[in-house]
């Protein structure tokens, strides 16, 4: 088994003190240690923004991509080498804004990969503009005016787009986050983990204290664990279309609930054929070994030329 130190790098970390990213990084490191697969079989892809630097702090293959584009690049690597554990990470602007098209298409495809979104409702690295998850009417401290557009609901969107594992966690609840990430990685299919997190520099609304509920009379956290309240997100009969529909609907309803507290935990989980499994039906070679390990060159063109004779 790997040691925690072995999964870390010495790359300099320039995140702000108190950033929620640290919680996510620690949870990721712990999850990868516990996952117990060889480090070289893990590849972490990231988008742009503070969260984009995450791969540099993980001692596995680390690919820092473009703004909003981690998912297609990650998908390409997974198609090339089915034995890789592929994880994409990025911010909410990256995934639900500029990369929204890829976000939806990735869910539809259901390749076996995991997407962890650092959701702090602001664009941090460009100094605090509103992100797609900032609720309408809110104004964080560096915004010239309040948001007048609706926020996107990533959980509901993911379920509708076809993600087969959809969960949410909180950056500073490292234990819950680690186990959620681990479950997401182990899920065969595309998994989303939306992570609520404070941006101590630019989001003066959703602070650490806000999430801890320190401003309220009961000092009760502003999140609660779905599973602790008995929510069953799992499709138990994967072939049962009715159950799939019921579980999807329940997950979407849960995601759309508005109230004092945000639900964390698993909203929807369904084990169904992945993209890779379906492709292997057409190309048996794919079931045998990673495409990148197969020698595909020098194939005999005679039958194709005969078609054209």
Partner 1 sequence: MSNQSDLVWMIGGPQGSGINLAAETFVRCCMRGGLHVFANIEYHSNIKGEHSYYRLRIAKERRRSHLERVDLLVALDRETLIGDVHKAEATHRGHLHEVAPGGGILFDSDDGPKPGDPTREDVRLFPIPFREILLEALRMYGREGEVGKLQIMYNVIGLGASIGVLGYDQELVGRVIAEGFKGRKAALADLNVAVFRRAAEYAGEKYGASFPHRLSVLGGSSGRVMMRGIQAVGMAKFLAGCGLQTYYPITPATDESDFLESRQGQYPIAVVQTEDEIAAVLMATGAAHAGLRASTSTSGPGFSLMAEGLGWAGITEAPGPVVLLYQRGGPATGLPTRTEQADIRFALHAAHGEFPRIVVAPGDAEECFRTTFEAFNWADRYQCPVVVVTDKFTASSYATIPPFSTQGMKVDRGAFFAPPKSGADGFLRYKFTKNGISPRSRIGDRGGIFWTSGDEHNERGHIVESADNRVKMQTKRMTKLVTAAKEIPEEMKWTLHGPADAEMMIVGWGSTKGAILDAIEELAEQGVAASFLQLRLLCPFPADAVRKVLRKAKTHVIVEGNYAAQVCGLIREMTGVNIRRKVLKFDGRPFSQDEVREGILQQRKSARRPAVMSHA
Applying CB under 8 A, the residues found at the interface with partner 1 are: 9, 11, 38-41, 43, 45, 48, 53, 55-56, 59-66, 69, 71-77, 79-81, 83-84, 101-102, 104-105, 279, 282-283, 285-286, 290-299, 301, 303-305, 308-309
Instruction: Name which of 199, 167, 252, 200 is nearest 91 in CA terms.
Output: 199
Compute the least distance from the CB of residue 178 to partner 1, in Å.
Answer: 22
Residue 186 in contact with residue 110, Cβ under 8 Å?
no
Comparison of 148 and 296: residue with beta carbon closer to partner 1: 296
Compute the least distance from the CB of residue 56 to partner 1, in Å.
Answer: 5
Strand partners, 266: 167
Comparison of 43 and 193: residue with beta carbon closer to partner 1: 43
Compute the least distance from the CB of residue 110 to partner 1, in Å.
Answer: 13
Comparison of 67 and 139: residue with beta carbon closer to partner 1: 67
Residue 250 in contact with residue 238, Cβ under 8 Å?
no
149/139 Cα distance (integer angstroms)? 12
Comparison of 79 and 174: residue with beta carbon closer to partner 1: 79
**58: which DSSP letter?**
B
Compute the least distance from the CB of residue 73 to partner 1, in Å.
Answer: 4
Comparison of 48 and 152: residue with beta carbon closer to partner 1: 48
112/297 Cα distance (integer angstroms)? 27
Residue 18: both structure tokens together? 């108190």
Compute the least distance from the CB of residue 191 to partner 1, in Å.
Answer: 18
Comparison of 74 and 192: residue with beta carbon closer to partner 1: 74
For 182, list phi and psi in degrees, rounded to 5: -60, -45
Residue 26 in contact with residue 116, Cβ under 8 Å?
no
Compute the least distance from the CB of residue 131 to partner 1, in Å.
Answer: 20
18/39 Cα distance (integer angstroms)? 28
**96: which DSSP letter?**
I
Residue 204 in contact with residue 140, Cβ under 8 Å?
yes
Residue 229: both structure tokens together? 């309240």
């Amino acid at each position: 088994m790997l040691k925690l130190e072995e999964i870390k790098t010495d790359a300099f970390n320039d995140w702000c003190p108190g950033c929620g990213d640290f919680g996510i990084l620690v949870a990721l490191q712990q999850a990868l240690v516990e996952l117990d697969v060889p480090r070289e079989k893990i590849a972490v892809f990231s988008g742009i923004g503070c969260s984009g630097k995450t791969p540099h702090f993980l001692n596995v293959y680390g690919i820092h991509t473009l703004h909003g584009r981690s998912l297609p690049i990650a998908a390409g690597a997974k198609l090339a080498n089915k034995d890789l554990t592929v994880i994409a990470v990025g911010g909410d602007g990256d995934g639900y804004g500029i990369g929204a098209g890829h976000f939806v298409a990735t869910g539809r495809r259901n390749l076996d990969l995991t997407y962890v979104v650092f959701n702090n409702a602001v664009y941090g690295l460009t100094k605090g503009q509103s992100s797609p998850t900032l609720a309408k009417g809110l104004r964080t401290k560096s915004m010239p005016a309040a948001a007048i557009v609706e926020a996107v609901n990533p959980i509901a969107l993911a379920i509708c787009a076809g993600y087969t594992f959809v969960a949410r966690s909180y950056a500073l609840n490292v234990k819950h986050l680690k186990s959620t990430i681990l479950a997401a990685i182990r899920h065969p299919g595309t998994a989303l983990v939306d992570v609520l997190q404070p941006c101590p520099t630019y989001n003066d609304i959703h602070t650490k204290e806000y999430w801890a509920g320190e401003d309220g009379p009961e000092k009760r956290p502003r999140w609660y664990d779905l599973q602790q309240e008995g929510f069953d997100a799992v499709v138990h009969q994967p072939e049962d279309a009715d159950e799939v529909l019921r579980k999807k609907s329940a997950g979407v309803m849960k995601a759309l609930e508005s109230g004092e507290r945000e639900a964390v935990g698993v909203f929807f989980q369904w084990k169904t054929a992945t993209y890779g499994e379906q492709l292997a039906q057409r190309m048996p070679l794919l079931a045998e070994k990673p495409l990148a390990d197969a020698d595909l060159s020098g194939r005999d063109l005679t039958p194709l030329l005969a078609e054209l004779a």
